[in-house]
Every structure is written in structure tokens, then in C-alpha cells.
Amino acid sequence: MTDIVTIKDVFAVNPYGKTFTFDWDAKVRPGQFIMVWAPGMDEIPLSLSSVDKEKSITFKTIGNDTRKLFNMKKGDELRIRGPYGNGYTLDRRKKTLVVGGGIGIAPLLPVIKMISADAVFAARDRQELEYSIPLAKEFCEKYWIATDDGSLGFHGNAVDLVREVMRDNRYDMIIACGPEIMLFFLHKYCIETGIDCQMSLERHMKCGCGLCGACMIDDQRVCVDGPVFTGDQIARMKDFGHCSRDASGTLVRFR
């Protein structure tokens, strides 16, 4: 589905990130994404940070396109298409912990709202994740914060905090979104300890709907077969944590 939506409200989540809300009557599951475009930028994939009747996207400025978005105002219009991808499989009967890193916290907010999952949120510093705390307070029974600089909560990374949390708590499912390096070590931890997990992965995206093959991880299309993959699926991926493909399809190793 392709639509033009109007930005209803703009919230600064931190000095370099914003949330745009907009009315869009599509049915969206947590973890699904849309392709977002306006003149002056390239079209980019963004996961929804709210999937109620009023939808939202939350992004941080990392390049030209997100900078262009950052400068948009209430009343401006966006061309969006989607929703694309599978989204998370949510089950209230499974005690679930969401683990979000950096801007990867945002797509997990609808999950904690929907099934009252507990949360580990991690970021570089307090400023980056503070916006998520009111929601965590409202919907999580328990939540924990980690910052790289120690400015709030646990001084360290998300995976180290998850290890701490699991000493005294038991979860059946971990649902995670964040930088691949975080997911790589979190996945290792889940495999070692036998906890089921679902992780949202990211690759260079073009068509968004399973045709062009730009976003392949091994033989999986991130846009349609994912972006959410199970721990077992991820365990079979040789690319995960090691390499991705650039816009030309050239394999780029990062580990």
C-alpha cells in the first residue's frame, strides 16, 4: 500500500532523534517497517514505533536522508509504502524480555505496550534513551537500563546487563532490536543458555517487498522473510555478524 501521510506531531526524543506521529489506517504488527520518502531525500526503511491507529516512526540522524527528515515539521507530508516484513511473533503466555540497543529501542515500544514484556534498554548515554523510560514505567513489570558511559543504570553494554538480569529472573523469549554487534553477542548468549529469541535484522534495502534481492542475508530476504528472524534461523546465517552487501551487491566484511 502506498500513501501520503501528514506529520501530526513532532517530538524530539534526544538532540539527534525525533518521533513523527501520523494517522494511517493500515494494520501493522510490531516489528514491521515502512519505506519513507519525501523530496530531497532517498527513500529509507523505518520500523514503526507505534502501531495503534495513530502510527509513529522514530529515527536518529545518521546521514543525509535522516537529516532531511529531522528538519521536517508538523503538517509536512511523507510518502510511505508498506507495511512490509513479518514483525514479531508475540505470545502473552511466554514470559518475554525485550532487549533494545540505541535507536533499536523504538520498534520494541509497541511490543511492551502489547504484551507488557519486561525490558532491557541500552544506549551510549542517558540522553539517548531517556524518552523510552515513561513507557517502560507504564507497561513493564520490570525494566533495566544500561549506558556505555554509566550516566544511567548499569555501566556497560546490553548483553552484559542481560547476563546480570538472568541471574535472578527467568524468561522464555528474548525479543531484540539494535546494532548487529549487540545482536551477535546476544544471539550467542541465547544459544548458549537455550533461550528462544527473535531478532530484527537490517540490510541495505531497495524494493522492500521481496523482489530485488538487495537485502539478502544468506538465502533470506530481510524485507519479506524478515526483518524478524528466530534464533534458529540466525544460527544458520553465515553473513550474520560478519558481512553485509552494499548498494551494488558487493559483499563487505565487517568482522
Partner 1 sequence: MNALRVKIGGLEFDNPGMVASGIMDETGLSMVRMFSSGAGAVVSKSIGSLPNPGHPNPNFTEVPSGCINAMGLPNPGIDAFAEEMGIATPKGKVIGSIYAATPEEFAVLAGRMEDFGACAVELNLSCPHARGYGIEVGTDPVLVTKIVSAVKSTVSIPVWAKLTPNTHILTEIGKAVESGDGDAIVAINTLKAMIIAPEFGRPVLSNKIGGLSGEAIKPVGVRAVYDLRKAVSIPIIGVGGISDYRDALEYIMAGASAFQIGTAIMNRGPEIFRTINEDLMDFMERYGYRSMGDMVGVAND
Q: Would you tell me which residues interact with partner 1 (CB under 8 A)?
A: 1-2, 4, 35, 37-39, 42-44, 77, 79, 81, 205-214, 216, 218-219, 221, 224, 245-251
Long-range (24+ apart) CB contacts under 8 A made by 244-249 are: 244/203, 244/204, 244/217, 245/203, 245/204, 245/214, 245/215, 245/216, 246/204, 247/204, 247/206, 247/214, 249/213, 249/214
Query: Measured from the CB of residue 176, what is the shortest distance to partner 1 in angstroms?
Result: 24
Name which of 192 and 247 has its Cβ closer to partner 1.
Answer: 247
- Tell me: cis bond preceding 227? Omega within 30 of 0 counts: yes
State the pairing for strand pair 96-101/173-177.
Answer: parallel
Query: Measured from the CB of residue 77, what is the shortest distance to partner 1 in angstroms?
Result: 5
Query: Measured from the CB of residue 66, what is the shortest distance to partner 1 in angstroms?
Result: 13
DSSP characters over 63-106: SHHHHHHHT--TT-EEEEEEEES------TTS-EEEEEEGGGGG
Alpha-carbon distance of 11 to 240, in angstroms, equals 33
Name which of 80 and 158 has its Cβ closer to partner 1.
Answer: 80
Name which of 15 and 39 has its Cβ closer to partner 1.
Answer: 39
Query: Measured from the CB of residue 183, what is the shortest distance to partner 1 in angstroms?
Result: 20
Query: Measured from the CB of residue 216, what is the shortest distance to partner 1 in angstroms?
Result: 5
Name which of 90 and 214 has its Cβ closer to partner 1.
Answer: 214
Name which of 150 and 249 has its Cβ closer to partner 1.
Answer: 249
